């Protein structure tokens, strides 16, 4: 799966304004009960996003 493939798929499933602008491939951060750790992810990815390699 590529970033383009995922974005193209998203376009068929949701309104244009909801389609993700950027896709990163990495392990999703979840706590022991499976809850997404979004604040930690926001800090990790939007703070220093350049550290994460985009898959092409």
Partner 1 sequence: MHLQNNSLEWIITYYAIIKIGAVIVPLNFRFVGQDILYAAKISSPRAFILGSEFLPVVQPIQKDLKTVASYICVGAEVPDDMIDYQSITANGDISEAMVDVDDQHDLAMMFTSGTTGDPKPVLHTHYSLNNTAIGNGMSYFVEKNDNYVFFLPLYHSGTMFLWAPFYATGATGTILREFTNPKWIIEAMAEEKGTDILFVVPIAVAILNAIKKGDLSLADYDLSSWRYMEIGAQPVPFDVMKRLVETLPCGCSNIYGITEGGGGGLFNLYPEEVLEKPGSIGKPTFGMDARIVDFEGNEVAAGEVGELLLKTNRMMKGYYQNPEMTAKTLKDDWLYTGDLVKADDEGYIYIVDRAKDMVTSGGENIFPVEIEDALMDHPKIDDVACIGQKTGSP
How far apart, in whole angstroms, are the C-alpha atoms of residue 31 and residue 38?
A: 10
Q: Give the list of residues 6+ apart from residue 41 with CB closer than 8 angstroms, or none.
A: 28, 29
Residue ranges binding partner 1 (CB under 8 A): 1, 6, 9-10, 13-14, 17-18, 20-22, 28-39, 41-42, 45-46, 49
The CB-of-29 to partner 1 minimum distance in angstroms stands at 7
The CB-of-4 to partner 1 minimum distance in angstroms stands at 13
33-40 contacts, C-beta under 8 A, 24 or more apart: none
Query: 4 vs 37, which CB is nearer to partner 1?
Result: 37
């Amino acid at each position: 799966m590529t970033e383009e493939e995922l974005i193209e798929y998203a376009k068929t499933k949701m309104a244009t304004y909801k389609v993700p602008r950027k896709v990163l491939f990495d392990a999703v951060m979840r706590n022991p009960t499976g809850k997404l750790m979004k604040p930690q992810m926001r800090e990790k990815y939007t703070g220093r996003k350049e550290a994460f390699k985009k898959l092409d």
